[in-house]
Amino acid sequence: MKYGYFDDKNREYIINNPRTPWPWINYLGNEDFFSLISNSAGGYSFYKDAKFRRITRYRYNNVPMDSGGKYFYINDGESIWSPGWKPCKTELDSYECRHGINYTIIKGEKNGITARVLYFVPLKTWAEVQKLTLTNNSKKVIKLKVFSFTEWCLWNAASDMENFQRNFSTGEVEIEGSVIYHKTEYKERRDHYAYYSVNVPIQGYDTDRESFFGLYNGFDEPQVVAEGKPKNTEAHGWSPIASHFIEVELKPGESKDFIFVLGYVENKEDEKWESKNVINKKKAKETIAKFNTSAKVEAALADLRKYWDNLLSIYTVDSGDDRIDRMVNIWNQYQCMITFCFSRSASFFESGIGRGMGFRDSNQDLTGFVHQIPERARERIIDIASTQFPDGGCYHQYQPLNKRGNNDIGGGFNDDPLWLILGSVSYIKETGDFGILNEKVPFDNDVSVARSLFDHLTVSFDHVVNNLGPHGLPLIGRADWNDCLNLNCFSNDPDESFQTTENKTEGSKAESVMIAGLFVVYGRDYVELCKRLGKDAEAARAQKHVDTMVDVIKKYGWDGEWFIRAYDYYGRKIGSNDNEEAKIFIESQGWCTMAGIGKEEGLCTKALNAVKERLDSKYGIVLNNPAFTRYYIEYGEISSYPAGYKENAGVFCHNNPWIMIGETVVGNGDRAWDYYKKICPSYLEEISDLHKTEPYVYAQMVAGKDAFKPGEAKNSWLTGTASWNFYAVTQYMLGIRPEYDGLLIDPCIPTDWKGFKATRKFRGATYQIEVVNPDQKSKGIKEVTIDGMPYKSNLIPAFGDGKEHKVKVVIG
Ligand code: BGC
């Protein structure tokens, strides 16, 4: 069953049934000020950091689901309703939510009135703008009482939820004209406040939550709305909110716009006050003034659209299949931008409190957006590298607000350092900017021990070399990419975290074949980089380590039909036919086949066939098989999940593209694309009631074949699935891949495709690419022409001449 449809022209998903199987959300803002918004206007806002600068309050995992948001209540004399159906849940005559690229439009109709709300964060603005348009479609004059609503969060989203003995006494607001200011803690250590304004005179307001709702009412029945009369309350402690009251009269056919601005301000210490206890409102007023007419708001929205027109024009494909095109051209790229902004911190599955920016996550995310905003990727690489330790290890996460490593999580995840090579190389291949390697980058944010980014890559590489186990494979540490494979944890205390509790590495033989494959892939990248920089001795040294690792994997990492996954603390195989459960894992098949290990001897083909046979399912490739059915103390969290969920044999979508890329290495386009379609959200739109999460973005996990409900997805939006799918489909399957010396065109497509067209902007030139497939092959290059002239190779030069070039590639 579907709950809406794609509008590709406007780059929107249009939801026409508010009872979606789960809140289907969108993100506003992509720089400093952010909001999450559901299809019924639930959600919240924050500045940079969802934990430390939470601006409005939201209740996760509540009953009903999705409670709290940016609501409008309309009392038309007959009914009380909200344009997004919730929170009132009054049946609407019609409902529509358009989730667009960084904006959302929610429209409800009731009793002859249309209420349409446009929500977005204008570029370079620390505020969310909401334009409410009320239209009278009836033949009579209509009088409405309109109430806005948002609830302030007391900044730190964690203490806001627990420290009530303090919180209930600290809340402070100011009301001036049509602006409600939230200034809790401003008079002591905070340099910031928030505000909520509307561009018309108001007829009243409320800022005390209980007065607005009545102590025993929910979001669906605020007392003042029912009474049609605000109480003009000024909050002192308890829970401050902001609600404007506006009386509106509309003639038949008349429309009126009301512009609300929900913003955030920081003031310097000596500019905090206008007079005693009166905050300096200058910056807030400046922002409000920028959006005080409909024309200004529409112009800001047009700027936002233009910004995205540009970003989304860099890579486009015309494959002849709308479901592929809309993902590659619009939604997958958009999701990559969102994961770039938030890593895994704030979604409807991530509370914004628990996690900051992941070291490995952010490096992988980078591959999905580096073509769009290389300068921000550059900054991100430096930020990430700055949290590395001098021995190459690194903090697993850092906080976006202060960019410091997160002590609560610490380090010791031995795959982390290698991803920095991926991030840096992806950036350089896209931009040609080798200069980044000379940037001085601190260790653990200590500038006194700063060294070049290149040196950071060297210590990343050597972190593996210096931490090898008894077989010569990399020691796993706390875990590798699979956070839940905790081979040194041995936890029998339910109150400790698998990731951060004492790690018994002393005497451990736990090694990871996945890190070994990763090391071969990014070790080779490191070698090539060294050669480009003329560091031949270093290249030769590194090459030796890589070659040795390939031999070690063949010797100790091969199980006969597939690659084993790891060795445990005691040196016993994991992911081997000898094991009773979890005989095979996806990760090592992905990385070892991407590295082409044993390709000549047929190991890659065998491993990929084993994946097809044992891990593939209707809804994607599961992580391991058979699933664990009991807790193994020596394996950790992975065996804590019920069979078929998350890292225990779920379809963990992040790693499916590794197999797709592996299939392209052996030239099996049919299989690669078959896997792609199984997890591609636009292909799952028809089964939305099973799939549950948004049909326009990837989810982290779909319940696997051993689960109670195979096919049900969880954890949408913030997942490495976004960048890895984009990377796989654009660079390896469509095969348009940036290299140091140009754009490589090496597609691997289904045999029944006749070809495809694509546009790629790359280092200052535009490539109009046409791929044709007359012989019904998947891979291989028969002929290349550039601007009509035969060309010797499928590595197309980086022309950098600002011109358009026609590239034709014949597969054969
Ligand atoms: C984490 C990743 C990790 C993956 C697999 C995700 O939730 O963000 O860092 O690689 O889970 O465990």
How many angstroms separate the alpha carbon of residue 673 from the centre of ligand 1? 24
Query: Please, which contacts does 75-81 make with residues 24 or more away whose CB atoms are closer than 8 Å?
Result: 75/144, 75/145, 75/146, 75/147, 75/225, 75/226, 75/228, 76/110, 76/111, 76/113, 76/142, 76/143, 76/144, 76/145, 77/143, 78/111, 79/110, 79/111, 80/221, 80/225, 80/226, 81/108, 81/110
**Ligand 1, residues 339, 342, 350, 361: which to mutate, most atoms within 8 A of Cβ?**
361
What confidence score (pLDDT) does residue 781 get?
98
CA of 343, closest atom in ligand 1: 8
How many angstroms separate the alpha carbon of residue 587 from the centre of ligand 1? 12
How many angstroms separate the alpha carbon of residue 344 from the centre of ligand 1? 9
How many angstroms separate the alpha carbon of residue 361 from the centre of ligand 1? 7
Which residue's CA lies nearest to atom 5 of ligand 1? 482
Query: For residues 779 and 749, what is the distance between their CA atoms, to the nearest angstrom?
Result: 7
CA of 360, closest atom in ligand 1: 9
CA of 358, closest atom in ligand 1: 9
How many angstroms separate the alpha carbon of residue 470 from the centre of ligand 1? 27
CA of 652, closest atom in ligand 1: 5
How many angstroms separate the alpha carbon of residue 358 from the centre of ligand 1? 9
Would you call 190 exposed, middle or buried from its count of C-beta atoms within 10 A (0-12, 13-18, 19+)? middle
Query: For residues 812 and 810, what is the distance between their CA atoms, to the nearest angstrom?
Result: 6
**CA 343, 349, 355, 358 torsion: positive or negative?**
negative
Q: Hey, which residues are catalytic here?
A: 483
How many angstroms separate the alpha carbon of residue 723 from the centre of ligand 1? 13
What confidence score (pLDDT) does residue 410 get?
87
How many angstroms separate the alpha carbon of residue 481 from the centre of ligand 1? 6
How many angstroms separate the alpha carbon of residue 500 from the centre of ligand 1? 14
Helix (H, G, I), strand (E, B) or coil at 551: helix
**Ligand 1, residues 394, 481, 721: which to mutate, most atoms within 8 A of Cβ?**
481
The CA-to-CA distance between both ends of the chain, in Å, stands at 41
Q: Is the separation of the CB atoms in 657 and 591 below 8 Å?
A: no
Pocket of ligand 1 (CB under 6 A): 344, 358, 360-361, 481-484, 647
Nearest Cα neighbor of 712 from 22, 17, 4 is 22
Q: Is the separation of the CB atoms in 628 and 570 below 8 Å?
A: no
Query: For residues 733 and 780, what is the distance between their CA atoms, to the nearest angstrom?
Result: 12
Tell me the average confidence (pLDDT) per consecutive run of 10 residues in the chain, 812 residues long.
98 98 97 97 96 96 96 98 98 98 98 98 98 98 98 98 98 98 97 98 98 98 98 98 98 98 98 97 98 98 98 98 98 97 93 90 96 97 96 92 86 97 98 98 95 98 98 98 97 94 92 98 98 98 98 98 98 98 98 97 98 98 98 98 98 98 97 98 98 98 98 98 98 98 98 98 98 98 98 98 98 97
Provide, for the chain, the percentages of residues in helix, strand and coil under a 3-state DSSP scheme, each rounded to the nearest 5.
30, 30, 40
What confidence score (pLDDT) does residue 130 get?
99
Tell me the residue length of the chain.
812
Q: Is the separation of the CB atoms in 63 and 5 below 8 Å?
A: no
Residues 672-713: pLDDT tens digits? 999 999 999 999 999 999 999 999 999 999 999 999 999 999
How many angstroms separate the alpha carbon of residue 631 from the centre of ligand 1? 20
How many angstroms separate the alpha carbon of residue 360 from the centre of ligand 1? 9
Which residue's CA lies nearest to atom 10 of ligand 1? 481
Owner of token pair 């030769």: 540
Angle between helical axes of 374-385 and 416-431 (0-180°, round to 10): 150
Query: For residues 210 and 240, what is the distance between their CA atoms, to the nearest angstrom?
Result: 9
Nearest Cα neighbor of 680 from 320, 207, 324 is 324
**Ligand 1, residues 364, 483, 721: which to mutate, most atoms within 8 A of Cβ?**
483
- Cβ neighbors of 676 (< 8 A, separation 6 or more) are 657, 660, 725, 728, 729, 733
Q: Is the separation of the CB atoms in 29 and 126 below 8 Å?
A: no
CA of 484, closest atom in ligand 1: 12
Which residue's CA lies nearest to atom 9 of ligand 1? 361
Query: Per DSSP, what are the bridge partners of residue 136?
Result: 113
Nearest 5°: phi and psi at 233? Answer: -90, 145
**Ligand 1, residues 340, 654, 715, 721: which to mutate, most atoms within 8 A of Cβ?**
654
CA of 481, closest atom in ligand 1: 10
How many angstroms separate the alpha carbon of residue 494 from the centre of ligand 1? 21
Query: For residues 700 and 336, what is the distance between their CA atoms, to the nearest angstrom?
Result: 13
- Cβ neighbors of 458 (< 8 A, separation 6 or more) are 526, 538
How many angstroms separate the alpha carbon of residue 569 from the centre of ligand 1? 22
Other Cβ atoms within 10 Å of 554 Cβ, number: 15
Cα Rg of the chain (Å, integer): 28
Query: For residues 364 and 540, what is the distance between their CA atoms, to the nearest angstrom?
Result: 27
